[in-house]
A and B are shown apart, each in its own frame.
Chain A
Amino acid sequence: MTDRTISVDYLARVEGEGALRVRIHERAVDSVELAIFEPPRYFEAFLRGRSYFEAPDITARICGICPVAYQMSACHAMERGLGLSIAPEVRALRRLLYCGEWIESHALHVYLLHLPDFFGVPDAIHLAKDHREVVERGLALKRAGNELMTVLGGREIHPINVRVGGFYRVPARDELEALRPSLANALYLAEETVRLTASLSFPDLENDYEFVSLRHPDEYPMNEGEVVSSRGLRIPMARYDEEFREIQVPYSHALHSVRRDGGSYLVGPMARYANNRDRLGPRADAIVREVGLEPVVRNPFRSVIVRAVEMVYACEEALRIIDGYRPPDRPYVEADGALATDGCVAITEAPRGMLYHRYRLDATGTIRDARIVAPTSQNQKRIEEDVRAVVERSIDLESEPLTVACEQAIRNHDPCISCATHFLSLDLVRD
């Protein structure tokens, strides 16, 4: 047999609908195609004509897994364009909400989507048959993240409390205090997660990634910072379009992002950690030292440990924010100056990596142009290269185990296909 094709028609344990096709000729990989067949939903088209004020709630519906990320990028973009400045207390609450989403989303991926691969079982339900305490720990962590989002956001999926300029209602101190026991427990469970994941055995593979993330002067990045890369790039968010561009490929409903020179890059936990190892909090730092995690993780299968470290960080950061919380004088500020602007741009760190929003508003505050680049769009090309690397080193495997290895190579980066798909640019000729 000189030609064979590895096909996965419907990728499991990822968010959304995608397929994989790898063509092998002799003992070489001919092509790798991560085909995203999830239908486009045209957000960028129907955002035109909506008020700037509606963008956080509408764009949240791009992804039920990371709605806070969309709300945050949309709010920051509008606020930057409109010149609104946010009170430090409101800024802290936004970071707290983001901690909830990081905990929930990472716990979902680590325990329900990724860990079954390492145990050779099809899903977390089967994992629970022999390791019930492991799955229960994951569910408890996930619940802690969801509780935080429910208290602060009103509900965990598509929270209702976020608005341009701040929040509709800010919590009283005791509402946040009540979260402390569950978060303290989650911190311990997250540390246990680092110990568990660090003890797994990993395929021997290192890739040469260009890691791209935000970097902030004093914090592990979430809502603010400059765009940096492990190869020396350092630019303000507003210059993103100069360094990164999108291309359309025939086999996928999602655009691929590439660097200016056409090369791939990686966003997400591995990139954030590589670029911000020195910004972790004391508990995350201590657990990294305890398990001896390398300062830059280049083995994609080990991303599961990095996600666990970020959960530790998100738990300790949430507790720190609750400790220092005092309610702001006003829950939100409103735009009162000119609304026409093309300066609405922001990047925030979704659980899966940088999420870019850019808008142009007219004098009535109506959106005239919208552009959104999701983390998975940015990682698609790199994920294909990862699959190629895995196939090349395992070319002699039978098709079934090779298929499993390919699927895991994709799941390593927690792709959110629902996010990636909805950005096929439509350009209305009018306007």
Chain B
Amino acid sequence: MPSTRPKLAVFKFASCDGCQLTLLDCEDELLALAGRIEIADFREASRRVVEGPFDLTLVEGSVTTPEDIPRLHEIRANSRVLVTIGACATAGGIQGLRNFADVAEYQRVVYAHPEYIRSLATSTPIQDHVPVDFELRGCPISRAQLLEVISAYLGGRSPNVPRESVCVECKRRGTVCVVVAHGTPCLGPVTQTGCGAICPSFHRGCYGCFGPQDTSNAPALSQKLVQLGMDSPSLARFYRTFNANAPAFRAASDAARPSPSPEGA
């Protein structure tokens, strides 16, 4: 008898698997969730595959091979709602550092047997290729936000995911500002919250794993970071990690180091 529960699918492109693992990390909710939805296609968790169309599809990872593109279009056509999960799917991920590499330099890259490998010169987010209904940020995503997104779409409403900066979260938690108190470089002022502002609570500056906050002022932060003693290459690298290709971080890193780096990073 066909199931009447909504169908969930999880698909992977270039990634570390950490964001889909977040679903299996919902130890307290997993069995209850499996009662409400049908896990139709989630290869990391099950060898059973139920045909689409899917009511909710989670996509992890970035587009890095020619085969990814038709596969992604097929997934989109088969999904009522498509949500990208994590920095790879929403901004190209750490593997997006290749996008900064000098093309001429890359042409001089030598493999032992390059003919065995098919790979694009860029790593791009899912939304560059197909329409996306919602993007969940983070490297990795937050478990609470993932559960919120699933509940919201099952209930036919929009997810309630905060868009403010990590700074706001630190104030709410009562965490002492690491920039003000210790002069520690921190991307908190320009980064969207969602992690819970963990790094400053461990006496460490935010390193931007949830990507740029929508209304942030990166040039002002860069000026402050230079005053704290950061040199240009370090400043460029600070913005160029897991969300390096998110437009605001990309612009900030290009401003810190105007000419393309031969190292690609």
Which one, B12-20, B72-80, B150-158, B247-255, is touching chain A? B12-20
Contacts of B51 in A (CB 8 A): none
B interface footprint on A39-71 (CB within 8 Å = 1, 0 otherwise): 111110111111100100110011111010000
Contacting residue for A15 out of B17, B95, B195, B209, CB 8 A: B17
Query: If A112-B45, A158-B18, A426-B111 touch, does A143 touch B65 (CB 8 Å cutoff)?
Result: no
Q: Nearest Cβ in chain B — how far from A428, in angstroms?
A: 6
Contact, CB under 8 Å: A136 / B46? no
Contacts of B109 in A (CB 8 A): 45, 426-429
Q: Which chain B residues numbered 219 to 248 have a C-beta less than 8 Å away from chain A?
A: 234, 237, 241-242
Interface string of B1-39 (1 = CB under 8 A from A): 000000000001111111101101101101100100001
> In the assembled complex, which residues on chain B have CB atoms less than 8 Å from the CB atom of A424?
111, 117
A87 sits at the interface (CB 8 A): no
* Minimum Cβ distance to chain A for residue B117 (Å): 6
Residues of A within 8 A of B30 (CB): 125, 139
Kindly state the separation between the CA atoms of A160 and B199 in the bound complex, as whole angstroms: 6
| Docked-complex contact A128 and B43, CB < 8 angstroms | no
A67 touches B262 (CB 8 A): no
B198-221 toward A: CB 8 Å interface, digit per residue (1/0)? 110111100101000000000000
User: Which of A41, A54, A65, A251 has most chain B Cβ within 10 Å?
Assistant: A41
Are A142's CB and B202's CB within 8 A?
A: no
Q: What does DSSP make chain A's interface, helix, strand, loop or mixed?
A: loop
A155 and B45 contacting across the interface, CB-CB below 8 Å: no
Q: Answer yes or no: B180 CB below 8 A from chain A CBs.
A: no
- In the complex, the answer to whether A49 meets B265 with C-beta atoms within 8 Å is yes
CA distance A15 to B43 in the complex (A): 9
B residues near A16, Cβ cutoff 8 Å = 12, 17
> Could you give, for residues 131-144 of chain B, a 1 whenever the CB lies within 8 Å of some chain A CB and a 0 otherwise?
00000000110000
* Segment at the B interface, from A6-14, A93-101, A202-210, A295-303: A6-14
Interfacial residues of chain B within 86-113, with CB under 8 A of chain A in the complex: 93-95, 97-98, 101, 105, 108-113
CB < 8 Å: which of B43, B94, B199 contacts A61?
B94
**Given A39, A65, A169, which contacts B17 in the complex, CB threshold below 8 Å?**
A65
**A418 contacts B16, CB within 8 Å?**
yes
The reply on A212 being an interface residue by CB < 8 A is no
Chain B residues with Cβ below 8 Å from A143 are 27-28
Is B263 engaged at the interface, CB distance under 8 Å to the other chain?
Answer: yes
Considering the chains assembled together, what is the distance between the CA atoms of A13 and B13 in angstroms?
A: 16
Kindly list chain B residues whose C-beta atoms are within 8 Å of the C-beta of A416.
17
Q: Given B28, B48, B68, which contacts A123 in the complex, CB threshold below 8 Å?
A: B48
Let me know if A49 and B263 touch, CB within 8 A: yes
Q: How far apart are the CA atoms of A50 and B234 in the complex, in Å?
A: 9
Distance (Å) between the CB of A249 and the closest chain B CB? 8
Q: Is the beta-carbon distance between B111 and A57 smaller than 8 angstroms?
A: no
Among A39, A51, A155, the residue within 8 A (CB) of B198 is: A155
Given A39-B64, A139-B30, A426-B109, are A122 and B18 neighbors across the interface (CB < 8 Å)?
no
Nearest-neighbor residue (CB-CB) of A38 within chain B: B14
Q: Which of B18, B105, B117 contacts A64 (CB 8 A)?
A: B18
A interface size (C-beta, 8 A) = 70
Checking B43, B95, B105, B202 against A42 with a beta-carbon cut-off of 8 angstroms, the contacting residue is B95
Min CB distance, B53 to chain A, in Å?
19
B49 to chain A, nearest CB (A): 8
A85 at the interface (CB under 8 A from B): no
Whether B204 pairs with A160 at a CB distance below 8 angstroms is yes
> For A157, what are the chain B residues with a Cβ–Cβ distance below 8 Å?
18, 21-22, 25, 140
Decide if B172 is an interface residue (CB 8 Å cutoff): no
Q: Is there a chain B Cβ closer than 8 Å to A106's Cβ?
A: no
Shortest beta-carbon distance from B255 to chain A in Å: 19
What is the minimal beta-carbon distance from A123 to any residue of chain B, in angstroms? 3
Least Cβ–Cβ distance between A137 and chain B, in angstroms = 11
* Complex: A299 Cα to B203 Cα, angstroms: 47
Chain A residue, CB-CB nearest to B238: A54
The reply to whether the CB of A191 lies closer than 8 angstroms to some CB of chain B is no
Interchain nearest-CB distance for A134 vs B (Å): 12
CA distance A124 to B139 in the complex (A): 26
Q: Is A140 in the interface zone, CB < 8 Å from B? A: yes
Check: A146 CB closer than 8 A to any chain B CB.
Answer: yes
When chains A and B are docked, how far (Å) is the Cα of A157 from the Cα of B60?
15
In A94-149, which residues have CB < 8 Å from any B CB?
108, 112, 122-126, 128, 132, 135-136, 139-140, 142-143, 146
A126 touches B198 (CB 8 A): no
Question: Which residue of the partner chain A has the closest CB to B205?
Answer: A168
B39 with A125: CB separation less than 8 A = yes
Q: Which of A135, A161, A407 sits near B31, CB closer than 8 Å?
A: A135
Chain A residues with CB under 8 A of B13: 39
Is B44 located at the chain interface by the 8 A CB criterion?
A: yes
Contact A126 B17 (CB under 8 A): no
Bound form: Cα–Cα A136–B113 in Å: 47
A352 contacts the other chain (CB 8 A)? no
Given A39-B14, A65-B18, do A428 and B108 touch, yes or no (CB 8 Å)?
yes
Q: Which residues of A contact B204 (CB under 8 A)?
A: 160-161, 163, 168-169
A156 interfacial contact with B, CB 8 Å: yes
- Within the assembled complex, what's the spacing in Å between the Cα atoms of A79 and B179? 27
Q: Which residues of A contact B199 (CB under 8 A)?
A: 154, 160, 168
B117 touches A45 (CB 8 A): no
13 A-B contacts (beta carbon < 8 Å):
A12-B44, A51-B237, A54-B237, A65-B18, A123-B45, A142-B25, A146-B27, A157-B140, A250-B116, A424-B117, A428-B110, A429-B110, A430-B262
Residues of B participating in the A interface, judged by any CB pair closer than 8 Å: 12-19, 21-22, 24-25, 27-28, 30-31, 34, 39, 43-48, 64-65, 68, 93-95, 97-98, 101, 105, 108-113, 116-119, 123, 139-140, 195, 198-199, 201-204, 207, 209, 234, 237, 241-242, 261-265
Closest 9 CB pairs of A and B: A64-B18, A49-B263, A123-B46, A122-B48, A12-B47, A41-B95, A139-B27, A64-B16, A46-B97
